[in-house]
Amino acid sequence: MTISNTRNGTVVTTLGFPRIGARRELKRALEAYWRDQRDPAALLASARQLRHRHWQLQRDAGASVVPSNDFSLYDHVLDTACLFDAIPPRYQALMQQDPLAGYFAMARGHQQDGVDLPALEMTKWFDTNYHYLVPELTADQTFQLRGDKPVAEFLEAKALGFHSRPVLLGPVSLLKLSKTTDGSNALDLLPRLLPAYAQLLQQLQQAGADWVQLDEPCLVLDLDAASAAAYRLAYAQLAAAPQTARPRLLLATYFGKLDDNLPLALSLPVEGIHLDLVRGLEQLDEALAQWPAGRVLSAGLIDGRNVWRSQLDHAVTVARYARGHLQPAQLWLAPSCSLLHLPIDLDLEPSLPVDVHSWLSFAKQKIEELAVVAQALDHPAEAATALAAARDRIASRRQSARVHRADVAQRMAALDADASRRGLPYPQRKPLQQQRLQLPLYPTTTIGSFPQTRDLRQARAAYRAGRLDEAGYEAVLLALTESCVRLQEQIGLDVLVHGEFERNDMVEYFGEQLDGFAFTRLGWVQSYGSRCVKPPIIYGDVARPAPMTVRWARHAQSLTAKPMKGMLTGPLTMLQWSFVRDDQSRADTCRQIALALRDEVLDLERAGIEIIQIDEPALREGLPLRRVDWQAYLDWAVDCFRISAGGVADSTQIHTHMCYSEFNDIMPAVAALDADVISIETSRSRMELLDAFVRDRYPNQIGPGVYDIHSPRVPEAGEMAGLLRKARQVLGDDQLWVNPDCGLKTRDWPQAEAALRALVQAARTLREEA
């Protein structure tokens, strides 16, 4: 396909493409550079190669216009902050000496030659599993255009024969996603920021860019009047430059419908708007009714957030409908959002089951699907075969016995409110559990995992590669489990764990044992920087063919007289960290997982396990982007947790764990989980994060983390006792547990052992004071 013949037809474009490379080439290049430090040439060459390959791939798949400056060595929000010189003072010296070192210091901290710079804070990019670096601003912040990344990458594409559309994070979203360190309002900085954007637009225009994409995903969030005013000011000013001094502007909105912000978005004086028509098809009618004459609609028709083949007939219908309201050149076809959140190429997954494979579409396939839609608009007869094939795939998925199981459907239909209820209310369960467990005041425990050292990872890799047989691998795991139990006894912990050595990942481990989950070989998605995750794909009804963890728990319990905690990953977390079905609601998929876990919980109980922990670190991140949708989500989310835990006896103790601490917005839901014990992360905030629990008079037991497991630092007993005293001031003595912030998986054995000894010592000190 050459660029000239696609130009004449309907434009197919993307808002952004994954950067990491199908084989995580960027990860490798980054890690090599971080190891040797000095020479960035190899890193920059890999980056260039990836950009080239990805432009070519997109064009070959059928994109007539490709994005540029969507690439990043680490994170696009960090790039934008650097581009406009929003660099906090602590990095400036290093930045001047070595810009690339300064950039990575902002991304990941820098410890060298007595210099110790902590990284910028990192947080989730909207409701994705991508994390961005949060720019730090102050009231006296100034901005200036620094560096030329967008221009350079545009010219790089041009030299390679690609006419690209540079992508920039828009000024209002940039400020709204930043934080200030002095309590000032970041939006107040907008007037100072806009001239730098205007200057950049002019430079891009001079370089030959006819369009620039300004990403403003914050337009799909709840906006206050000040934010709306910021949007008006920003775009009035950017558009005010004469047409000859700036490219045309495509305002990109995604991750949801604009809803009450639709009139605002339509009122902005830009030449094009991208709408997410996957999550926000409802807005199309209203938008078209008010569509300003001559403006381009970039129609986000194909789901950029999920891995399923599209219903192309439906996409064609929507595209035709839109085109009926527009001039032909005014309609562009695009995925709903950047393809950043998808694996790159399904062709690299030959070992998926054939039918599952035929239902899937990764970044490259999404563009091919769009090309079919464009063909259907431009030359309907030629698209007929491709549309028929798409129809067949959808039909095969709809009818597949692999997807739809009568036994699961029956269980779902039979679910009633009783399933999510424990027998007695918490105050009556509590003495029964205490009678059974006989725990001391301030019981000590851990969150589950113990250090996963190189030996273990090597054994696992050897086992997976067939170099170590099952019995050999098993022996490694059993030995580790046994020594872990012995160590915990020696240290004097009250509630033990088996150590989770058999798990590589808390979702994958369970997914691999459940029906309805598929796993890719190379389905990597960037999580942050060089870190990628390989989310499982939930394609069908979920069921548990056999017990998953009982063997380990039973074995570990047989080694000790102390209570052994059973360890499971909760239904929300399994859902949230997977690609999920789009042919039923998230709530229903989650209920199916909850039912499978419920069976596991009951099997653990039957095996003599008296305490079972169901981890839900992803409960909060599942919150929808708009507040109106929160309650509905929390209702089913809480219900799913309760289904998984609800079957046990009143004397069996259910724990849960969440490795964060912003509970302010979700406190009623956390209480409604009705776990007997919850452990949370609090050590870094020095217990301030308990406030929400105190204010809401959280009734059940809490283990506020006293050991920050994210750091190699080993805290002393006195320090942990100090934290516990703070917690004791606001919580009842009989409410408090003593534990680390999270699992010990990433620590080494000497650190873990020393920290746990100190932790047990801290609990003893507190007991003496009680």
Instruction: Please state, in angstroms and rounded to a whole number, the distance separating the CA atoms of residues 674 and 654.
Output: 9
**Cβ closer to ligand GLN: 366 or 745?**
745
Q: Is 678 left (phi over 0), alpha (psi -120 to 50) or beta?
A: beta
**Cβ closer to ligand GLN: 366 or 565?**
565
**Cβ closer to ligand GLN: 234 or 575?**
575
At its nearest, how many Å lie between ligand GLN and the CB of residue 119?
20
Instruction: Please state, in angstroms and rounded to a whole number, the distance separating the CA atoms of residues 690 and 681.
Output: 9
Chosen residue from 422, 591, 657, 747 binding ligand GLN by CB under 6 A: 657
**Cβ closer to Zn ion: 91 or 663?**
663
At its nearest, how many Å lie between Zn ion and the CB of residue 704?
13
> Site size for ligand GLN, by CB under 6 A?
13
Residue 502 is labelled as binding a ligand: no
Residue 745 contacts which entry, Zn ion, ligand GLN, none (Cβ below 5-8 A, type-dependent)? ligand GLN
Of the candidate spans 116-124, 443-451, 693-701, 721-729, the one that interacts with ligand GLN by CB under 6 A turns out to be 443-451
Residue 26 is labelled as binding a ligand: yes
- Closest residue to Zn ion in the complex (CB): 659
- Does position 659 interact with Zn ion (CB under 5 A)? The reply is yes
Q: Are 532 and 522 in contact (CB under 8 A)?
A: no
Residues between 238 and 257 that touch ligand GLN (CB under 6 A):
none
Which one of the listed residues 52, 163, 555, 710 is annotated catalytic?
710
- Does position 369 interact with ligand GLN (CB under 6 A)? The reply is no
Q: Helices 470-491 and 749-769: crossing angle, nearest 10°?
A: 30
> Site size for Zn ion, by CB under 5 A?
3
**Cβ closer to Zn ion: 617 or 622?**
617
Residue 681 is labelled as binding a ligand: yes
Q: Are 448 and 709 in contact (CB under 8 A)?
A: no
**Cβ closer to Zn ion: 369 or 741?**
741
Residue 524 is labelled as binding a ligand: no
Alpha helices in 308-447 (DSSP H): 312-323, 354-359, 363-378, 380-399, 406-414, 426-437
At its nearest, how many Å lie between ligand GLN and the CB of residue 107?
22
Look up residue 330 and give its DSSP letter. Answer: G
Residue 448 contacts which entry, Zn ion, ligand GLN, none (Cβ below 5-8 A, type-dependent)? ligand GLN
Residue 124 is labelled as binding a ligand: yes
**Cβ closer to Zn ion: 217 or 705?**
705
* Full DSSP string of 643-702: HHHTTS-TTSEEEEEES----GGGHHHHHHT--SEEEE--TTTTTGGGHHHHHTT--SEE
- Does position 506 interact with ligand GLN (CB under 6 A)? The reply is yes
Of the candidate spans 574-582, 651-659, 663-671, 746-754, the one that interacts with Zn ion by CB under 5 A turns out to be 651-659
Look up residue 521 and give its DSSP letter. Answer: S
At its nearest, how many Å lie between ligand GLN and the CB of residue 449?
3
Residue 196 has φ and ψ, to the nearest 5°, of -70, -40
**Integer CA distances (angstroms), 752 to 251, 615, 711, in order:** 50, 20, 11
Residues between 510 and 529 that touch ligand GLN (CB under 6 A):
none
Does the CA dihedral 423-605-597-413 come out positive or negative? negative
Q: Which amino acid does the sequence have at 220?
A: V
**Cβ closer to ligand GLN: 246 or 657?**
657
Residue 506 contacts which entry, Zn ion, ligand GLN, none (Cβ below 5-8 A, type-dependent)? ligand GLN
Query: Active site includes 710?
Result: yes
Q: Are 149 and 164 in contact (CB under 8 A)?
A: no
- Does position 755 interact with ligand GLN (CB under 6 A)? The reply is no
Residue with tokens 């910028």: 120
Of the candidate spans 225-233, 343-351, 446-454, 512-520, the one that interacts with ligand GLN by CB under 6 A turns out to be 446-454
C-alpha of 547 from chain center: 28
**Cβ closer to ligand GLN: 642 or 657?**
657
Residue 218 is labelled as binding a ligand: no
Chosen residue from 484, 567, 637, 755 binding ligand GLN by CB under 6 A: 567
Question: Which of 565, 567, 628 lies closest to 597 in space, CA to CA?
Answer: 567
**Cβ closer to Zn ion: 174 or 597?**
597
Of the candidate spans 127-135, 363-371, 578-586, 614-622, the one that interacts with Zn ion by CB under 5 A turns out to be 614-622
Instruction: Please state, in angstroms and rounded to a whole number, the distance separating the CA atoms of residues 443 and 181.
Output: 38
Chosen residue from 86, 659, 678, 706 binding ligand GLN by CB under 6 A: 659
At its nearest, how many Å lie between ligand GLN and the CB of residue 448?
3
- Does position 448 interact with ligand GLN (CB under 6 A)? The reply is yes
Site string for ligand GLN, 690-729 (x = CB under 6 A): ----------------------------------------
Residue 27 is labelled as binding a ligand: yes
Strand partners, 566: 612
Say how many CA atoms lie within 13 Å of 724 toward its Cβ.
Answer: 34
Residue 24 is labelled as binding a ligand: yes
Instruction: Please state, in angstroms and rounded to a whole number, the distance separating the CA atoms of residues 499 and 519.
Output: 24
**Residues near 386 by Cβ (< 8 Å), separated by ≥ 6?**
312, 372, 375
Radius of gyration of the chain (CA): 27
Strand partners, 111: 116
**Helices then strands, each counted (H, E), the chain:** 29, 23
- Closest residue to ligand GLN in the complex (CB): 743
Residue 508 is labelled as binding a ligand: no
At its nearest, how many Å lie between ligand GLN and the CB of residue 540?
26
Site string for ligand GLN, 602-631 (x = CB under 6 A): -------------x-x--------------
Question: Which of 540, 554, 548, 639 lies closest to 597 in space, CA to CA?
Answer: 548
Of the candidate spans 105-113, 165-173, 444-452, 551-559, the one that interacts with ligand GLN by CB under 6 A turns out to be 444-452
Residue 306 is labelled as binding a ligand: no
Site string for Zn ion, 726-745 (x = CB under 5 A): ----------------x---
Question: Which of 217, 284, 295, 302 lies closest to 249 in space, CA to CA?
Answer: 295
At its nearest, how many Å lie between ligand GLN and the CB of residue 480?
15
Chosen residue from 177, 214, 447, 640 binding ligand GLN by CB under 6 A: 447
Q: Are 334 and 274 in contact (CB under 8 A)?
A: yes
First to last CA, the chain: 77
Residue 129 is labelled as binding a ligand: yes
- Does position 81 interact with Zn ion (CB under 5 A)? The reply is no
Pairing between β-strand 122-124 and β-strand 131-133 as defined by DSSP bridges: antiparallel
**Residues near 129 by Cβ (< 8 Å), separated by ≥ 6?**
341, 525, 527, 533, 535, 576, 577, 621
Indicate the SS3 state at residue 350: coil
At its nearest, how many Å lie between Zn ion and the CB of residue 743?
6
**Integer CA distances (angstroms), 459 to 466, 468, 497, 519, in order:** 10, 7, 21, 21
Residue 4 is labelled as binding a ligand: no
Site string for ligand GLN, 734-753 (x = CB under 6 A): --------xx-x--------
At its nearest, how many Å lie between Zn ion and the CB of residue 662?
14
Residue 448 is labelled as binding a ligand: yes
Instruction: Please state, in angstroms and rounded to a whole number, the distance separating the CA atoms of residues 582 and 584.
Output: 6
C-alpha of 587 from chain center: 18
**Cβ closer to Zn ion: 616 or 650?**
616
Structure tokens at 724: 């516990």
Binding site for ligand GLN (CB under 6 A): 447-449, 500, 506, 567, 615, 617, 657, 659, 742-743, 745
Q: Residues at the annotated binding site for Zn(2+)?
A: 657, 659, 681, 742
Q: Residues at the annotated binding site for L-homocysteine?
A: 447-449, 500, 615
Q: Residues at the annotated binding site?
A: 24-27, 124, 129, 447-449, 500, 531-532, 577, 615, 621, 657, 659, 681, 742
Binding site for Zn ion (CB under 5 A): 617, 659, 742
Catalytic residues: 710
